[in-house]
Amino acid sequence: ASTALAAYVYVNGHKAHCLFDTGCESVMISQEFADACKVPIYEYENPSLLQLAVKGSRSSINYGADVKIAAG
**Structural domains in the chain (count):** 1
Q: Supply the pTM of this predicted model.
A: 0.72
For residue 29, the enclosing domain spans 5-70
- The residues, any chain, with a CB within 8 Å of residue 49's CB and separated by 6 or more, are 58, 59, 60, 61
Q: Given this model, what pLDDT does residue 1 score?
A: 57
What residue ranges of the chain have pLDDT lower than 50? none
Alpha carbon 29 to chain centroid distance? 3
Strand, helix or coil at 33?
A: helix
